[in-house]
Amino acid sequence: MSETVLVTGGAGYIGSHTALALIAAGHKVVVIDNFVNSKPDALVEVSEMTGHEIVIVEGDARDPKLVEHVLVDNDVNAVIHMAALKAVGESVEMPLEYYGNNLETAISTLGAMRNAGVWRFVFSSSATVYGDPESNPIPEGAGIGATNPYGMTKEMIEVIVRDLAASDDRWKITALRYFNPVGAHESGRISEAPVGKPNNLMPMIMEVATGKRDKVMVFGDDWPTPDGTGVRDYIHIMDLVEGHVAAVEHLENQSGYDVFNLGQGKGVSVLELIRAVEQATGKTIPYEVTTRRTGDIAECVADPTKANEVLGWRTTRSIDQASTDAWNSQQS
């Protein structure tokens, strides 16, 4: 069934790929974005790739009247909420900005939805809510306790939406705890293109591969992991966004609140990711080991069983494919 989905923050890396996946599944897409950390170019590209227009509204999701108008004017059925500041390190340096922006965008969007009578909400949460997990892989029932302000904003919003769903049975809310998205659409036409200095590992490695950066900084090689470097669950961006489509469609028949991990269920170390990119690019990626970063953890890997079973979703793309697709997007 074709529906209209509003994606807040939809011009970013995950948002633009989500728009593509939603259109591929037969849905219409509306985006609100203030373009602080993104540009409209990716959405223009998605429109050209799919032959479907995306309604793009330049504005701030912290403005509830704007969000309400967009919901009503476009007859929106569901919202995927991605609008947020998202750099862990920056959040430690700028906690007020992170708490102010991330909590306000969520509360404002939810208030606008209630006023407009739109009750289906998919929240972009994060594996950072787990903090330093007691064991891996991590199920949704594991204890949570974020170790940085970015993760705390995600944790707080999860509490808000859980309480909201309990207060009124019209709400249908899902939180998706992402692990580490990497790669790009196989066409290479949209990609992870951070404004300013990249904060994530894959774009840093790509900057070395393209000659924009001399080397990758590896934060610690003395972690309790097989090669001493940090281990994360890297998930191909297209697998991740197909999880969003599955979550939106699942909400048609779900009420209340639920939470799902979106990850491969397999850990990849920093050095393993560097080697995968070397294989994909045919280039040597120099790196330098430096001290651990404050707030970092040794390992964070998803148990995706619940999403596999309840949403009928699973990952199908490897880290090698993610590296190849990321490189293709760099070259194009």
Catalytic positions are 150
Residue 285 contacts residue 274 (beta carbons within 8 Å): yes
Dist CA 16 CA 82 (whole Å): 11
Residue 128 contacts residue 88 (beta carbons within 8 Å): yes
Contacts of 75 (CB under 8 A, 6+ apart): 4
Q: 209: how many CB neighbours lie within 10 A of its CB?
A: 23
Residue 115 contacts residue 108 (beta carbons within 8 Å): no
Contacts of 104 (CB under 8 A, 6+ apart): 62
Dist CA 218 CA 287 (whole Å): 7
Tokens of 266: 């397999």
Pairing of strands 28-33, 4-8: parallel
Q: Identify the helix (H) or strand (E) that includes residue 287.
A: strand 287-290
* Distance separating the N- and C-terminal Cα atoms of the chain: 34
Q: 96: how many CB neighbours lie within 10 A of its CB?
A: 8
What three-state secondary structure class fits 126?
strand
Residue from 51, 54, 48 nearest 18 by CA: 54
**Amino acid letter, 103:** L
Dist CA 4 CA 299 (whole Å): 38
Q: Which of left, alpha, beta for 329 (phi over 0: left; psi -120 to 50: alpha)?
A: alpha
Residue 170 contacts residue 224 (beta carbons within 8 Å): no
Tokens of 81: 């909420």
